[in-house]
Amino acid sequence: MIKVMKKVMYRRTVIVAGPTKEIVETYPTQFGDNMRREGRKGGKGTPEAVKLYNRKLAKRRLTRIINANFVADDLWITLTYERDNRPESREAAKEILQKFIRRLRYEYRKSGLELKAVKATARGERGALHHHVIVNQGVPTRQITTIWREVSGGSEYAHPPYYVPLYPEGEFSSLASYLVDQIEVEEGELFERKWTATRNLKKPEYSAPQDISEIKWQEPPEAEEGYYIDTSSIEAGTNEITGRPYLFYRMVKIEDGFTCRDDNGKLLRGAKAVEYFRDKNKNFIRDNWITISPEGEVIFYDGG
């Protein structure tokens, strides 16, 4: 499906979270008269559409929290219960999780560290409650296993928690997406209410919205120096709720020591690796970008 809009001022917001910068560009409400407002036509704006939209926003917000506070080799822990020792309710499971966090925080302090954690309770396909916890590096995993068995009432034969080190790419949107999809949300509840975090986490930094009088969407976005654009994050279309065109993408900082291989398999290092990777990233985006009509209008493809 194709949406067309005329040249009007748009608004840009930049959100910094750890090694990432998210760019959100859209149009203020007062500029909506010149656009084709279809946000609530053809079934859009329905309760199901609102739910999907809120889920998407929840994934972005949780991505920012994780990106701002955790790094490669921090831990994603999945805590499970023995079959005969499962809590009877979500409330009982949350109490056990809170006890686990208190014990873990105590052990971190003994080691001279401060625990940072994001946590959520989910229900598996067979109905079993379990927990997802992301923590910074600290005490050994064997110690975490002992704490979990003690607070959950697990026996020495209970399956230990699942430990997954966070990957080194520098941003964790796929993990945030998975966790949000795991969370149950009742009618009228907010996704954010379904996960909690320790109070010492850094907050993402939101810039003041900047009004821009030029239309730049006729050109592909380009990464700032020292960054590349996560191509899977790019969204250019029409907001299904507001009916206004928007552009969203995430830039990721290229860390020192970056290496990559070129199309011939040659290993590149340093400035050559960064230049090659950024050029390849830029060309990929340009080859898959939106189209400009002869009349100068910006055409947005919403995936249809």
Q: Which residue has the higher pLDDT, 232 or 41?
A: 232
Residue 17 — pLDDT band, cuts 50, 70, 90? very high
pLDDT band at 290 (very low <50, low <70, confident <90, very high): low
83 vs 213, higher pLDDT: 83
**What separation, in Å, do the N-terminal and C-terminal C-alpha atoms of the chain show?**
4
In angstroms, the Cα distances linking 26 to 32, 242, 302 are 10, 10, 14
pLDDT of residue 193: 56
Residue 184 near residue 55, CB atoms below 8 Å: no
Average pLDDT over residues 283-303: 58
Angstrom distance (rounded) from CA 203 to CA 200? 9
CA–CA separation, 99 and 230 (whole Å): 38
Q: Which amino acid is at 129?
A: L
Mean pLDDT of 16-26: 94
Predicted confidence at residue 8, as pLDDT, reads 54
Q: What pTM value is reported for the model?
A: 0.84
Joined together, the tokens standing for residue 208 give: 């003041």
Distance CA 291, CA 289 (A): 7
118-122 average pLDDT score:
91
pLDDT surpassing 50 at residue 297? no
Q: How confident is the model at residue 293 (pLDDT cuts 50, 70, 90)?
A: very low
pLDDT greater than 60 at residue 179 = yes
31 DSSP assignment: G
Q: Report the range of poorest mean pLDDT among 96-100, 102-106, 185-189.
A: 185-189
The pLDDT-based confidence of 87 (bands split at 50, 70, 90) is confident
pLDDT > 80? residue 105: yes
CA distance 147 to 142: 9
Q: What's the length of the chain?
A: 304
Average pLDDT, the chain: 82
pLDDT reading at 300 higher than 50 = no
Tokens of 269: 């290092």
Integer-rounded Cα radius of gyration of the chain = 23
Region 271-294: mean pLDDT is 82
Boundaries of every domain in the chain: 2-45+204-301, 75-165
pLDDT over 50 (residue 37): no
Residue 47: per-residue pLDDT: 76
Of all residues in the chain, the percent with pLDDT exceeding 70 is 82
Task: Look up the CATH superfamily of 75-165.
Answer: ACT domain (3.30.70.260)
What are the pLDDT digits (tens) for 204-255?
A: 999 998 888 766 666 788 999 999 999 989 887 777 777 777 889 999 999 8
Task: Specify the range with the lowest mean pLDDT, choosing from 94-108, 130-144, 243-257, 269-283.
Answer: 243-257
